[in-house]
Structure 1
Amino acid sequence: MRWPPRSIKNRRPLLCFGTLLAIAAAYLGLARIIYDRFGLLVMVVPTLSTFLASGLCGLGFEYALERLEKLRTRRTLERYVSKNLVKEILDNPGGYYNSMLGSRKPVTVLFSDLVGFTSLSEKADPTVLVSQLNRYLSAMVPMVFDNGGTLDKFIGDAIMAVWGNVSSHGAAEDAKAAVRAALGMRRAMPALNAAWQAEGFKPLAFGIGINHGDAVVGNIGSYEPHERLDPTVIGDAVNLASRLEALTRVYGVDILMGRSAAELVRDDFYLRSIARVQVKGKTEPVEIFTLIGALNDDVDPEFLKWLQAYEEAIVKFRKRDFKGAKILFSHFLEFYPDDALGKMYLASALEYEQSPPDEAWNAVEVFKKK
């Protein structure tokens, strides 16, 4: 797709209308001058009426044509890029194209990917697979648009969405919008799985990674003669969001977010500490969290109560108080015995209590693979 679309003309109806009035006023003034100097009476009303009527009809037709062309262009572009991106292109083309030359902005990035879809694609009927994937994406994408995000791209069964790249409501609001989109995706998945199971298909699950940080925004791609440019974002913040999505499999949760995003949204959402991780390509560890729900969601109050014990246990574990952590994790698991994270940390606390780690230990999980 060529940017900008060549078919969008830069028409200015207000300028044309002003020019029309100026010509009418000039004709009226000229008629007055001719009458005053030469005593000749020039027809004014019929001439001006015809001129203005034809001019207004022409402007009306031109305006209607422009609206139809813009609507047709909007619908065409929305098949390929995000709706808010199309709106910015059509409403503010100059500002948009200048920003797409390359700029650094704080953005919130969301990656979503189906679990085990690659292995499923090797066995499934291609027609059925494409239909199932399109149904999944059709249910997920509205969550991005409804929360003001930009659909950056599809990568197979993965979705990449961005907030703050086209327009921003502030870092905190952008991050909260991304989290609301993730919650919407979580709520939509059970209905999809129920429908698939009724049709004889296996249920699917996804992982979502959310991160906030500075990224480079611009049109990335190749120039002529094989021009293909995509408006996208690149940088460490984007890469980390992708890494967090992959880590959802490791920790058995559906949504993970980095500390930078968590700090922006924690006043509106319940979060749970997961771990300190060092992902491939990063030299510094990142604290990660999972999303429980919004403050106004129907969240089990008993779980929130015992979650405080879990969080206290995490703090003790990181401070090398493995005995205290063991006690608190055990209390938590008495009420939630199937909690995978609680069992994982209890096992680590028991191991470290018997064989303490060396002094260099900092409770950071290092991942050398993507």
Structure 2
Amino acid sequence: MSDTDARRTLKRVLKGLLIGAAAAAIIGHLTYHDTLEPLELKTLDLRFRSLRATPTAELPDDIVIVEIDQDSLEYVSSLINYQWPWPRSIYGAIIDFLTTAGADAVIFDMLFTEPDIERDISGAESDAGLVEATARSGRVIHTYVLKKAGLAPPEDEAAALLKVPGIDLVALPSAPPGVNHAAAALPSAALIAASRTLGFANVDPDDDNVVRRIPLMARLGDTTVMNAATAAAWDRGGRPELALLPNALQLGLTRIPTQPNRSFYLWWYRMPERQESPFVSTSAYAVLKAQTERVSGIDPSLDPDLFKDKIVYVGSSATGLFDVKASPLSRSVPGVQIQATALANLLRGDAVRRISRSTTLWLVLLLSLVTGCITHGTRHTTLGLLLTLIVLTALTVGSRFLLASRHCFIEIVPLVLGVALTFVGATLINYIAERRHSKLVRNIFEHYLDRSVVRTLINHPDQVKLGGERRIGTVLFSDVADFTNTSEKLEPQPLVAFMNLYLDAMTRIIIDEGGFVDKFVGDEIVAIFGAPNDLPDHAARACQAVVRMQQRVAELQPEFLALGCSSDIFFRAGLSTGALVVGNMGSEERMNYTAMGDVMNLGARLESANKRYDTRVLASDVTAAEAGAAYTFRPIDRVRVKGKDHAVPISEFVGATASLNAEQQARLAFFAAGYTHYGQQKWDSAEAAFQQAASQGDAPSAIFIARCQAFRTQPPPPDWDGSYTFTEK
């Protein structure tokens, strides 16, 4: 890669970085202000739904749910003759059976924060029955609800709450931030005192009413309190020391990743097909029936071992009780199942860890910069789109993999939007640049190149570099012989008509052969073969163009005569092949695509040297070598042009090899023999051969006859290499 190409690529890469940085700034702003959060949470739901079902052997087996379902409501209504809400003595019966069965803990996902209503037994008696059953068991965890505003709880209830072990956590190094709950709906002081421990039951759905996380801890006045799942896990683990870390809760040996408000994202267990809950569940009806059977001395129909050493949640699942919520996996999940999921996460360390917002923002910046470099740096929209799609696919698959294997929640919406916005921005800028480039290419070349070539250059902008590049090509300089005399004899209108006729005919041939008309200087035509379009056979095409131009000029002679030209019109040409520097050159106001270099200088001098040798077309030895056997050249001299020290072999372009007749071939043979003797300083032999060629009408031979005669009188220096020095351009 040349220095120019490297600078051009670096410039594109830097511009791509700027595009990526701008896109990252926009997406970062939206991310920082949680504008994208609703969409992000929806993608989290989709990721959970895409996971495979949790194998039965991996489902939580240490938690059992006793559901107050529709069968339970009907059983109590028909057999015990109580409508909802049930007397609290019924819950006492459930507690007694579960305790006798060996349950490790019984958690009520139900609130007993108001006195029971009056029935055939008083509300006070009903409340007392629940308190007594709770006290007898010693394993019951009751719940309450925190309120953001409202009256503070009665002093006796608040005091009782603070006496429950594990409730007052003020001694922790730091308290969780967030809204300070000023009030709570608490159970009675007696029920609090009888409970093993307490926890709040608040579940805070997101704005779309889907539960994805629940708070582990909260502030109640000056006290830090635990939710029911945290309290149960803490109690199950032997009440280890708790530690609030910056982004986690240390619960014994288990570290639970938390959000700034001390909530944590739930890991949802996908149920196997045809299984409604990841937990072992039974109906409250079955428990009540079994308790009745046990009290009556009958073996219970429900196996008590189902609850042995298990944590048992008691909660409602009947639709009419309105404790149904939405989760990422379902639009209808009993609230007790969500609470049980939280506890299972805490016991098993299954909580989901969300990547920090700062990490997300850095990833947005990184991916946007990479996308900008790829898309704008390559300037290939298809390649950029392909690589962008690969990045987006990797993000989608990677985010699912991280969730499935590491329980890691990485935000993909900002990343996807950052990549997409960068791609769109870079593509749009590329499109604008390509349109501008296409317009520039069309404006520069449409009158000087074949239309198909112009279309190719527009469709493949990498083939032409207007900023400058090196190309190997062949240049053609031509002008009308004795044009000064011709122009002086013509009136302005015929002169312009002649010029237009001649230049149009020559230009069409040059373009048809794939050449590019660089410029017109009066009657002079400067053409380039091999730039801006790549032509491997540029020398042969230039030669063919000259042959066709000569034929066309011969065909136009009648029209030239009709315009007032007094003699036959012909042109002289110079052909030179080699390295060219081509590009869009000029001032800011006016630029032209042109070429420069020694090859151009030599082509111009060869064109003017035709008058010296009385030839029509002179060419460099490189052109003669590159053109191939289809065209005939004859070496005609070695010259030192003005300003150069080394000698340059030059040849006369005779024409297409197939068109040469026997007379021309004989004349060329005589000249070739004379030129060989001339280089060997055999002046007599050389002159004789040149005389034979001259006798057949070979004009350049006359020049060499004169040189032989001069060198015979005054030989060249000993180091003479057969070259001749031009003293003028």
- TM-score between the two structures when normalised by the length of structure 1: 0.72
My pick for the range that moved more, 132-141 or 351-360, is 351-360
Q: Indicate which of 69, 82, 91 corresponds to 2:449.
A: 82
2:511 aligned partner, one-letter code: F
Whether 1:187 aligns to 2:551 is: yes
1:290 maps to 2:652: yes
Query: SS at 2:635's partner residue?
Result: strand
Q: Show CA shifts across 1:263-305 (max 9, x none).
A: 11242211122211112232211111112221222x2113213
| Contact 1:82 1:152 (C-alpha < 8 Å) held by counterparts | no
Does residue 368 (structure 1) correspond to residue 727 (structure 2)? The answer is yes
- Match of 1:283, SS state, is coil
1:188 CA displacement? 1.3
Give me the identity figure in percent: 30
Question: Residue type matched to 1:365 in 2?
Answer: Y
> Equivalent residue for 1:104?
470
DSSP 3-state at the match of 1:263: helix
Relative to structure 1, is the Cα distance of residues 326 and 236 closer, same or farther in structure 2, using a 3 angstrom cutoff? Answer: same
Quote the offset at 1:319 in angstroms. Answer: 1.4
1:281 aligns with 2:648: no
Q: For residue 333 of structure 2, what is the aligned residue in structure 1?
A: none
Report the secondary structure of 1:326's partner residue: helix
| 1:321 aligned onto 2:682 | yes
Cα distance change on mapping 1:368 and 1:320 into 2, 3 Å: same
RMSD: 2.9
- For 2:535 and 2:505, the matched residues in 1 are separated by 25
Distance apart, 1:96 and its partner CA: 4.6
Pairing 1:140–2:506 present = yes
Q: Any residues of structure 2 matched to 1:29-178 within 5 Å, and which?
A: 80-83=447-450, 86-93=454-461, 95-96=462-463, 99-122=465-488, 124-170=490-536, 173-178=537-542
Which residue matches 2:705?
346
Once the 2 structures are TM-superposed, how far is the Cα of residue 229 of structure 1 from its aligned partner?
A: 1.6
Q: Which of 313, 332, 339 is matched with 2:693 structurally? A: 332
Amino acid at match of 1:164: G
SS of corresponding position for 2:643: coil
* Larger displacement relative to structure 2 (340-349 or 134-143): 340-349
CA shift at 1:325, angstroms?
A: 0.8
Q: Note the 1:192-271 alignment, pairs <5 A.
A: 192-202=556-566, 203-223=568-588, 227-271=589-633
Does the 8 Å contact 1:88/1:166 carry over to 2? no
- With over 3 angstroms needed to count, the CA separation of the structure-2 counterparts of 1:353 and 1:74, relative to structure 1, is closer
Label 1:281 to 1:355 Cα distance change in 2 as closer, same or farther (>3 A): closer
Structure whose residues are more often helix by fraction: 1
What is the CA distance between 1:314 and its match in structure 2? 0.3
CA 262–332 in structure 1, closer or farther in 2 if over 3 Å, else same: same
Which 5+ residue runs of structure 2 have no aligned equivalent? Answer: 1-378, 382-437
Cα distance, 1:333 vs. partner?
A: 3.4
- Deviation at 1:255? 0.6
Number of equivalent positions: 296
Secondary structure in 2 matching 1:105: strand
Structure 1 CA distance for aligned equivalents of residues 593 and 444 of structure 2: 13
CA contact (8 A) 1:77 1:86 kept: no
Pair 1:116–1:327, CA change in 2 (3 A): closer
Matched residue of 1:362: which SS?
coil
Quote the Cα distance in structure 1 between the aligned partners of 2:711 and 2:601: 32
Structure possessing the higher radius of gyration over alpha carbons: 2
Aligned partner of residue 296 in structure 1, secondary structure: helix
One-letter amino acid of the structure 2 residue matched with residue 348 of structure 1:
R
* SS of corresponding position for 2:471: strand
Query: Secondary structure of 2:632's match?
Result: strand
Q: Cα distance 1:229–1:75, how it changes in 2: closer, same or farther (>3 A)?
A: closer
CA-to-aligned-CA distance 1:63-83 (integer Å, 9 cap, x gap): xxxxxxxx9999876664423
Paired residues of 2:638 and 2:723 also in contact (CA < 8 A): yes
Amino acid of the structure 2 residue aligned with 1:213: G
Please tell me whether the aligned partners of residues 615 and 700 of structure 2 are also in contact (alpha carbons under 8 angstroms).
no
Unaligned runs of 5+ in 1: 1-9, 13-70
